[in-house]
Amino acid sequence: MNDIDRPLHPNALRTIATGLAGLLFAKAFLSILYQYRFYFPADFESDFLIVRREWFHGIYRSAFYAHIVSAPVALLAGLFLVVSGPNRRYRHLHRLAGRCLAVLVFAFVSPSGLIMAAYAPAGMFAGAGLATLDVGTAYCLIMAIRQARLRQFRSHQRWAMRCFILLCSPLLLRLTTGFVIVMQLDPDWNDRLNPWISWLIPLVIHEIRLHVSDLHDSTRSPVSKMEALP
């Protein structure tokens, strides 16, 4: 069989899919940052701020700027933590990035997100989704820190990945919004549901994957488990 006719190995397909997903999320991340040109100073003719002009002062204004500055940095810190976690050479930097992420999430990202959720233009249902996201992000990070201190590193990795998935929710929200615009779907429906599905669906998929992995591990024979040990 020629190399051209040989089917791709599943690992190769997984690598390609991961790379494409990474490029897609990088595009969403850069598109979010590109919108910042409307925020310094605030341009109330922009799509995002035009519906927030009425309450864009006082505590909301402070929360808005705290959130848009801290959230991208927290996402990059989370990405570094996910990549550096398995590599012992970066252990010191991994711990330092973890501390930075904790400060960002507990002091800025989650508190400012909760304040902004109370003013969600799409209504209480959307605001509840955003508030749940902020509380869930902080909770997952607390559990990740706790498990690391207990040296339960497998559990730590799982909680850290949950936190990272929640931190990535604005990227999926942006991609979903773009899809709705391209497909000319109902934007009001998107505004109400996206604050939920942008983090809930990825988190459910992740939990299903973990459950399947645990089932697979539990069905392995003792001999295969011994062979898998280093």
pLDDT > 70? residue 121: yes
pLDDT > 90? residue 126: yes
Q: Structure tokens of 83?
A: 């990549």
CA 9 to chain centre: 29
| 97-105: long-range contacts, CB 8 A cutoff, minimum separation 24 | 98/145, 98/148, 101/74, 101/77, 101/141, 102/141, 102/145, 104/70, 104/73, 104/74, 104/77, 105/74, 105/137, 105/138, 105/141, 105/163
Residue 132: CB atoms within 10 A of its CB come to 16
pTM score, whole prediction: 0.84
Q: Write down the pLDDT at residue 228.
A: 40
Q: Could you please report the per-residue DSSP string of 111-142?
A: HHHHHHHTT-TT-HHHHHHHHHHHHHHHHHHH
- 6-57, pLDDT tens digit by residue? 554 555 656 676 676 778 778 888 888 889 999 999 999 888 899 899 999 9
Q: For residue 77, name the pLDDT band (cuts at 50, 70, 90).
A: very high
Q: Write down the pLDDT at residue 227.
A: 42
| Sign of the dihedral through C-alpha 62, 65, 69, 74 | positive
Mean pLDDT of the chain: 84
According to DSSP, residue 79 is labeled H
According to DSSP, residue 7 is labeled P
| Sign of the dihedral through C-alpha 213, 133, 104, 25 | positive
